[in-house]
Homo-oligomer: A and B are copies of this chain.
Amino acid sequence: MFFASDNTSGVPDAILAALGRANDGFSMGYGADALMDQVRARIRTLFEAPEAEVFLVATGTAANSLAIATQVQPWSAIYCHRHAHIEEDECNAPEFYAGGAKLTLLEGIDAKIDADAFEAAIDAAPGGVHHAQPGILSLTNLTERGARYSVAEIARLAGIAHAHGLPVHLDGARFANALVAEGCTPAEMTWRAGIDVLSFGGTKNGLMGVEAVVLFDPARGGTNRAWEFELRRKRGGHLFSKHRYLSAQMDAYLTDDLWLSLARTANARAARLETGLRACGARLVHARGGNMMFAEFPLKGHAALRQAGAMYYDWPAPPPHGAGPDHAHQCRLVTSWSTTEAQVDQFVDTLKGAL
């Protein structure tokens, strides 16, 4: 019963098989492998974006930090939600890559940026030489609280950003989960809604450690941001010599809609889990947008689950000292492509038995 994170799961056999195939013979390194050409073509087709530039890195933090750094300056403000991954879980990597830029935090329920709050913040930015200069808006979909921006919500936020001359980044560590839940196309959730640069996650959805950065407008502002990205990636130590092993994974991920099918499975398990939790009387703290939920139920339920070996995080904090068995306590639960119905049912049954 592993519900700690989607990154505790392994990879599907198709990914292992792709690594095996890619292993034959010699291959030029550093992204000059033939598989990368194929990946680039696939992503351009998938996103209906023939001009897009595509790069692979191995971690989400690298993808986000490099994607953002390529769009801003060291004196920029990076607008994001108070609970964005780039704010809370990347140990100042965005600041590092962006040369000391500042994350300016916005509020909003379910870790979704409130559009009015964003507009008010950017309208209030004083602009003069003493202040951080508005630089970019960074969204996360699914959010860090498991909710989902609709296409319309993304478009509204991106519209505000663009009206103020700012590009928009989407942290899509769980892009696939958001996409299949929203039921739209990749283009609709990204550039058609105003996204300029995307961290297209693979790791949480079944790869060993591969994320694509997609620059939808690589010449924005008259600058060669694609080449800048390449230099920043190398300078960050994120350019793989044996790049084919990243390409092979991403290629297999995109073949025969594997990535969508993995996300659908994860979301379906989450839906089953939500249904079960609600049937037990648990409360969902945030609107569930895909494969992650935050639930509240009595401590005695948690005790029974821990006892039965369930793995998941207390969230946002451990229970207070001396809390009794009926204390309502919150946790985070994440499903993945490899979560089984049996695991979900065991979890729910254990909880049901305890309450």
Using CB atoms and an 8 Å cutoff, list the residues of chain A in contact with chain B.
Answer: 2, 4-5, 7-11, 16, 19-20, 22-30, 57-63, 65-66, 73-76, 88-93, 95-103, 105, 124, 129-133, 203-204, 208-209, 222, 228, 230-232, 234-242, 245, 311, 316-317, 338
Nearest first, the 4 A-B pairs at minimum CB distance are A62-B237, A2-B26, A95-B100, A7-B241
Which of B92, B129, B235 has a CB less than 8 Å from the CB of A230?
B129
Report chain B residues within 8 Å CB of A22. 10
Cβ distance A92 to chain B, nearest Cβ, rounded Å: 5
Pairs A–B under 8 Å by Cβ, sample size 14: A10-B24, A19-B19, A58-B58, A75-B91, A90-B234, A93-B236, A99-B99, A129-B230, A129-B231, A129-B234, A129-B239, A203-B241, A236-B237, A238-B238
The chain B residue with its CB closest to the CB of A7 is B241
Cross-chain contact A129 with B30 (CB below 8 angstroms): yes
Which of B2, B27, B66, B316 has a CB less than 8 Å from the CB of A8?
B27
Cα(A70)–Cα(B98), bound, Å: 16
Which of B10, B89, B204 has a CB less than 8 Å from the CB of A131?
B89
Cα(A95)–Cα(B237), bound, Å: 12
The chain B residue with its CB closest to the CB of A241 is B7
Max count, chain B CB within 10 A of own CB: residue among A20, A27, A59: A59
Cross-chain contact A11 with B30 (CB below 8 angstroms): no
The chain B residue with its CB closest to the CB of A96 is B100
Cα(A278)–Cα(B57), bound, Å: 42
- Given contacts A7-B241, A239-B129, are A95 and B101 in contact (CB under 8 A)? yes
The chain B residue with its CB closest to the CB of A233 is B129
Cross-chain contact B241 with A209 (CB below 8 angstroms): yes
Cross-chain contact B235 with A96 (CB below 8 angstroms): yes
- Given contacts A16-B19, A131-B89, are A99 and B124 in contact (CB under 8 A)? no
